[in-house]
Amino acid sequence: MALSEDDRSDARTEEEFNFEKDSLHLLPLETIPLRSTALARARLVKNVRMEGMVEVFRGIGTGSGQFDPISLEQSFDIPGDEEVTDADKIRALASLNSFDVYSLRIQLRTLGIDVDDIDNLRLSKEKRSELTKYMVGFTRPLIHQIYGDRDTNISDMSELIALFDNPNKEEALKNLKLITENLRIGIGDLPRFLEDYGDTFLSLAYFRDTLEALEPQFESFFAAMGDIRENHQLRQNGSLMRTMDGLERDFVSIKATLEGHFTAFDHQTSAMWDNMTSESFHRLKTLIESSHTTVGGILCGLSVKLGAWDDRFGGRDAGLISQAEFIMSDMRQGMDILLEISIPPVETPEEAEDEAADDEGVVLL
């Protein structure tokens, strides 16, 4: 089973745990119900080649101790008296394209893996605080929709939710009645609506923040390829030049796919605010959630690849030959996986009809 809070202090600090939980490429296995204590103290990592590996230690000077999930039984004492063993769970998780909490909510449900503590599938308090700058743009329209031009001291989602605990019952009921009338929902549905609203836009803020953080790494990598192309010796290497040309095209295409998702979210968000109801919100929520695994997978792949480049060559004078070797090995390996994530499968007319029929059966709030 998953580690208790007391056990966690022996495995990793709270700060380390939150860092892992907030990342796209790390998954602390203590959050997953496992019987093997040794595995519960490990974590899954996505490496630069887009492979999911079990990491049992990492340190300065010691490097990273990783195991291929395929051979877990050879290295760990795994109870085999269950239909689904710890090794089965870890192999299934290692195959996921991203370990971000929003993708995990969907994928764990698909895999039939229940998490003991639902807070482990939420961003940390510190990360939520970092994303406040994005959330202002999402909460202000809702507050304006509710209050219009009336004076109000409400400025964010937490203050809206706090209305339920307002000691002034008359004032609280007046505010709640105003909210439910404007959104056309029952008062009993309001707490869930506000929670879903905040969480949906928090996921969008999380992914947008990740993409913006990648911008300087994109620039650094592209600049390095430019320097390599200008080197007289290296530009004679036709295989290297073709590989860099392909990588450049692929990264530009993948980034354009991401930006296309965000543009679609922005358009749908604007349309929702033109006619803000629980139904219009849930149409947007469905759109965003249906893209979580794709957007999360792309961002995870970009993060591990560009992050590995930045860790190795960023901020220091590195030889062009070393950079070229890294491009020909680690940078190009796994790009096919990243491209596959970013290019959605072609939907047949029959699948489109089935999806439409499923949508008709969705009950909103």
Write out pLDDT tens, residues 168-182.
Answer: 667 667 777 877 887
Helix (H), strand (E) at residue 44: strand 43-46
Task: Answer yes or no: do 176 and 280 share one domain.
Answer: no
The answer to whether position 45 is within a domain reads: yes
- Where helices occur in the chain by DSSP H, the ranges are 5-11, 14-21, 37-40, 72-75, 86-94, 101-111, 125-130, 132-147, 157-161, 169-183, 190-230, 238-274, 278-290, 292-313, 320-326, 335-342, 349-360
The answer to whether position 356 is within a domain reads: no
The 10s digit of each residue's pLDDT in 310-321 is 999 986 677 999
**For the range 115-118, what are the long-range contacts, defined as Cβ-Cβ under 8 Å and sequence gap of 24 or more?**
115/2, 115/31, 115/32, 115/33, 116/1, 116/2, 116/31, 116/33, 117/2, 117/31
- In this prediction, residues 134-142 reach a mean pLDDT of 85
∠ CA 248-253-256, rounded to 5°: 125
C-alpha separations of 303 from 19, 151, 173, 207, 210 in Å: 14, 43, 47, 11, 8
Task: Answer yes or no: do 34 and 86 share one domain.
Answer: yes
- In this prediction, residues 274-299 reach a mean pLDDT of 92
Task: Answer yes or no: do 156 and 265 share one domain.
Answer: no
Domain count, the chain: 3
∠ CA 15-204-340, rounded to 5°: 95
Domain extent, residue 165, equals 128-189
* Residue in the block written with tokens 């860099």: 244
The answer to whether position 153 is within a domain reads: yes
Q: In this structure, are residues 247 and 327 in contact, taking their beta carbons and an 8 Å threshold?
A: yes
Task: Answer yes or no: do 221 and 337 share one domain.
Answer: yes
- In this prediction, residues 337-346 reach a mean pLDDT of 80
Predicted confidence at residue 184, as pLDDT, reads: 84
Q: Considering only residues 91 and 146, tell me which one the structure prediction assigns the higher pLDDT.
A: 91
Of 85, 101, 124, the residue that ends a domain is 124
The answer to whether position 273 is within a domain reads: yes
Task: Answer yes or no: do 182 and 248 share one domain.
Answer: no
The answer to whether position 195 is within a domain reads: no
Task: Answer yes or no: do 60 and 116 share one domain.
Answer: yes
Of 74, 90, 124, the residue that ends a domain is 124
Task: Answer yes or no: do 332 and 227 share one domain.
Answer: yes
Sign of CA dihedral 144, 150, 155, 159: negative
Closest CA to 179 of 167, 206, 166, 161: 161
Burial (0-12, 13-18, 19+ Cβ within 10 Å), 323: buried
Task: Answer yes or no: do 315 and 265 share one domain.
Answer: yes
Q: Using the predicted structure, report yes or no on whether residue 76 has a pLDDT greater than 70.
A: yes
Q: What is this structure's pTM?
A: 0.85
Q: Using the predicted structure, report yes or no on whether residue 163 has a pLDDT greater than 90.
A: no
Closest CA to 25 of 57, 58, 51: 51
Task: Answer yes or no: do 145 and 104 share one domain.
Answer: no
Q: Using the predicted structure, report yes or no on whether residue 159 has a pLDDT greater than 50.
A: yes
Mean pLDDT of the chain: 85
Q: Considering only residues 180 and 302, tell me which one the structure prediction assigns the higher pLDDT.
A: 302
3-state secondary structure (DSSP) of residue 221: helix
Closest CA to 204 of 291, 311, 146: 291
C-alpha separations of 137 from 133, 172, 179, 269 in Å: 8, 25, 19, 11
Task: Answer yes or no: do 219 and 314 share one domain.
Answer: yes
Task: Answer yes or no: do 136 and 167 share one domain.
Answer: yes
Backbone phi, psi, residue 196, to 5°: -65, -40
The answer to whether position 48 is within a domain reads: yes
Q: How far apart are CA 87 and CA 161, in angstroms?
A: 42
Backbone phi, psi, residue 101, to 5°: -60, -30
Q: What tokens does 348 get? A: 């047949």
The answer to whether position 65 is within a domain reads: yes
Predicted confidence at residue 96, as pLDDT, reads: 96
- Beta-carbon contacts of 73 under 8 Å, excluding residues fewer than 6 positions away, are 87
Residue 59 Cα to chain centre, angstroms: 25
The answer to whether position 206 is within a domain reads: no
Task: Answer yes or no: do 146 and 232 share one domain.
Answer: no
* Identity of residue 218: F
- Beta-carbon contacts of 239 under 8 Å, excluding residues fewer than 6 positions away, are 328
